[in-house]
Structure 1
């Protein structure tokens, strides 16, 4: 699971690193604790050369009211025991909330780090995980667009895809990990810093 993450806005870095256009105006500010409902920059498959500000917490197109599905479990309802060696079917393709997005609405979620806690204490005992060189990386995400039929408001939102624990999350006693897309990333490239304050 990934319930909180850090996004430090460096437009010039984003332009160089991800090949996106510089936005006409900045709509997202630095956020050291991106929480459900907050805006964050993503890069979507349908507009790969743009930075877009989407809400953290997916609301599927068909939903009758706003939802905040922050994580999309890659195994779906499979691997209920959270075995780190699971290599079976990716059940996400069968989950009603995610099955359309995983096929056609994918995104990169830009991050500088994320917060996770042990399985029992969760974010009441958070750890800050980030790359040793403190460089930016991306989570694999999915997105959707929802319209409020009562107000006409249109909301673009996203979830972070999660998978079995990696070396870093396993090291703090957590059973899940966000899917991190960085070809240079390895378990040895991560720092873990304990944050004892509550959110």
Structure 2
């Protein structure tokens, strides 16, 4: 699964790397947790251009009766995302890129859960395969939410966990964002040789701790 990650890039870097015209000012985030606002990119259905937008992490299907459902849907499995009722409509029509530059996973060692930080070897920002949804019920404000798609772990990560978030290669961004083109063949483990990981402080265990020390190796 993917339950915590980082994104520390400047707006200028996002605009250049992900080819969007307008990006809201962002503060570096070292410990992003479910239900928080996260940086995403999707294709505007009217202009057909890429658009930057902050969405809440934890997808609420349009048919959900209660917004609390989103807290349980922070991840979608690649193997079933096209068929599961909670995700299939978004998979067909509402794809997005969820922006990151690293993510965390935990492994139990000697009875203690040790966090590890995974990132690209070149240190570049990247994008998870994501889905988004628009939820509106009653008199409350509409809520736009998203989920991260996961797949089986690559060789690098398999010693820590059996799942990993789907990382979309930069050359496939356009394909993933186009529902007519990007199918499940993109939902594969990212190559191990392009990634590194290392142990980090248990400070990251608490989502209230959101500072550079979270991603520093120990």
Question: After TM superposition, is the score higher than 0.5?
Answer: yes
Deviation per residue, 1:40-63 (Å, 9 max, x gap): 110113364221000111111111
Please say if 1:3 is aligned against 2:3.
Answer: yes
1:71 is aligned to 75
Shift >2 Å, 4+ stretches: 45-49, 118-121, 183-186
Residues 126 and 65 of structure 1, relative CA distance in 2, 3 Å threshold: same
Return 5+ residue gaps in structure 2 as ranges. 172-189, 207-218
| Aligned-residue CA RMSD (Å) | 2.2
What is the TM-score normalised by the length of structure 2? 0.75
Aligned partners of 1:183 and 1:160: how far apart in 2? 17
Where structure 1 has 5 or more consecutive residues not aligned to the other structure, the ranges are: 77-91
- State the match for 2:84 in structure 1: 95
Matches within 5 A, 1:1-199: 1-23=1-23, 25-26=24-25, 28-46=26-44, 48-66=49-67, 67-68=70-71, 69-76=73-80, 92-118=81-107, 124-149=113-138, 151-172=139-160, 174-182=161-169, 186-197=191-202, 198-199=205-206
- What's the offset of the Cα at 1:30? 1.8
Q: How many residues align?
A: 179
Could you tell me the TM-score, scaled by structure 1's length?
Answer: 0.82
Larger helix proportion of the pair: 2
